[in-house]
Amino acid sequence: MTDDRLNQRLLDAVDAGFDEEIRFLADITRIPSLRGEEAPAQDVMARAYADRGLSVDRWKVEVDKIRHLPGFSPVAVSYENAWNVVGAHRARTPDGGTPGRSLILNGHIDVVPTGPLDMWATPPFVPVVRNGWMHGRGAGDMKAGLAASLFAMDALARCGLAPAGDVYLQSVIEEECTGNGALACLERGYRGDAAIIPEPMAEQLMLAQVGVIWFQVKVRGRPAHVAVAGSGANAIEACFPIMQALHRLEHEWNERGHPAFAGHAHPINFVVSRIEGGDWTSSVPAWSTFDMRISLFPGQSIEQVRAEVEACVAAAAAADPYLSANPPQVIYHGFMAEGWELPAGTEAQAVLARCHGLVTGKPLETTASTGTTDARFFGLYAGIPTLVYGPTAERIHAFDERVEIESVRRVTQTIALFIAQWCGTTPR
């Protein structure tokens, strides 16, 4: 079969399975796979892999097995129900020939919380298609990507073909808070000559991503009746100068800049994302805790960043009458992620650009992400060229998340062509 003919057959095969793909996407979007509640969705993924004759590896992520590894993030919750799933296609080389190149198709099944339900136009876990978009929490980030990888494999099968190299379909947990699910795949020995992560990148290839660190600042003091509240003795209000000091650090880092993020006006974002404190409306609050998510450039070391953050908090505390008497604590409770850049000039990127061009008729555009993805594990700790490339989605992590159906089709087609060109094909 000529390359042109094979390519056209694969594109047609994705079209032939596309209604089923969208049904499958709706089925997994319907399952609220929030942190700690991913297991039912992982059961569906495991069944989908098994139905296709892939060998299924479903295992519980154990902190003790990964805590010593680079890239590990501290865990603040139970992993009692933390399941990863991998479906493996192992290439057969009956005539003793060398197998094709191997490939990891990774995606995360965990989704972020919905926020107040009354702010959604339609319920977040009742997926609906309107005007060419599927709405639902996780539909874009990134269940459409998980579906695209699965149905790209189906397209080869529909053409009577199998990849000539090993292909690992990974459905992992914890991407949104630690990345420990992807790390557990590395610990379990999964490797590939390339990896694709179909995060919602608007059909662009991500060349760089920031790192992310989560921490909490805890302020403790002595409670008082509001009638005798003096200024500067309020644990909640005492947090404000610390926040302001951290925002000055954010400003400094943005000023410093990074070549991979030259197109971004404000790549580094420090976000105060949660706050709690106090016990009673008529008591001066004696305690307060705020959460912060910060980002860092590729090349900034975790140790250095932690030292800068802690010094910043300590300096702000020293300048404040309440805080100098009640020094705050910094506690790390999630992401401890370095930034990452895709090495330039990989064969994997060239193949993706070719496949994207065949499907869309356009050159592959690139982007740098001000968020993190699991790509850092494959890239930094296993030397695997990792292509973060996926469909167009809007309002991920916000209300009314949605993914564009036709972009899901094109990404599925691009991945199908990529599998065939990267791994080669054999008759099924």
CA–CA separation, 52 vs 150, rounded Å?
Answer: 9
Q: Which is nearer to Zn ion, 166 or 199 (CB)?
A: 199
Instruction: Quote the least distance from Cβ 110 to Zn ion, whole Å.
Output: 9
Helix (H/G/I), strand (E/B), else coil: 81: coil
The structure tokens listed for 80 are 């009692």
Binding residues with Zn ion: total (CB under 5 A): 3
Instruction: Quote the least distance from Cβ 389 to Zn ion, whole Å.
Output: 13
Instruction: Quote the least distance from Cβ 9 to Zn ion, whole Å.
Output: 31
Q: Which is nearer to Zn ion, 154 or 199 (CB)?
A: 199
Instruction: Quote the least distance from Cβ 397 to Zn ion, whole Å.
Output: 9
- Write the DSSP string, 155-170: HHHHTTEEESS-EEEE
Instruction: Quote the least distance from Cβ 141 to Zn ion, whole Å.
Output: 4
Q: Do 368 and 205 meet the contact criterion of CB atoms below 8 Å apart?
A: no
For the beta sheet containing 393-394, the strands, ordered from the edge strand earlier in sequence to the opposite edge, are 128-130, 133-135, 402-404, 393-394
Q: Which is nearer to Zn ion, 13 or 142 (CB)?
A: 142
Q: Which is nearer to Zn ion, 161 or 177 (CB)?
A: 177
> 18, 16, 177, 60: which is closest to 108 by C-alpha?
177
CA–CA separation, 120 vs 400, rounded Å?
Answer: 6
Q: Which is nearer to Zn ion, 328 or 379 (CB)?
A: 379
Query: What is the amino acid identity at position 235?
Result: A
Cα separations (Å) of 28 from 47, 136, 388, 390, 402? Answer: 12, 10, 21, 17, 14
424 phi, psi to nearest 5 deg: 80, 170
Whose CB is nearest to Zn ion?
A: 141
Q: Which is nearer to Zn ion, 114 or 426 (CB)?
A: 114
Q: Which is nearer to Zn ion, 137 or 409 (CB)?
A: 137
Instruction: Quote the least distance from Cβ 206 to Zn ion, whole Å.
Output: 11
Q: Which is nearer to Zn ion, 233 or 380 (CB)?
A: 380
CA–CA separation, 410 vs 408, rounded Å?
Answer: 6
Instruction: Quote the least distance from Cβ 161 to Zn ion, whole Å.
Output: 30
By CB neighbour count within 10 A (0-12 exposed, 13-18 middle, 19+ buried), where does 209 fall? buried
Instruction: Quote the least distance from Cβ 311 to Zn ion, whole Å.
Output: 32
CA–CA separation, 200 vs 120, rounded Å?
Answer: 20
Cα separations (Å) of 280 from 219, 229, 284, 306, 312? Answer: 17, 14, 8, 34, 30
CA–CA separation, 254 vs 27, rounded Å?
Answer: 41
Instruction: Quote the least distance from Cβ 175 to Zn ion, whole Å.
Output: 6
Instruction: Quote the least distance from Cβ 176 to Zn ion, whole Å.
Output: 7
Binding mask 108-147 for Zn ion (x = CB under 5 A): ---------------------------------xx-----
CA–CA separation, 308 vs 7, rounded Å?
Answer: 52
Q: Which is nearer to Zn ion, 142 or 235 (CB)?
A: 142
Q: Considering the rule CB under 5 A, would residue 342 count as an interface residue with Zn ion?
A: no
What residues from 194 to 223 belong to the interface with Zn ion (CB under 5 A)?
199
Query: What is the amino acid identity at position 236?
Result: I
In the block, tokens 């509240």 appear at 229
> 290, 410, 401: which is closest to 355 by C-alpha?
410
Q: Which is nearer to Zn ion, 296 or 393 (CB)?
A: 393
Where along the sequence are the contacts to Zn ion (CB under 5 A)?
141-142, 199
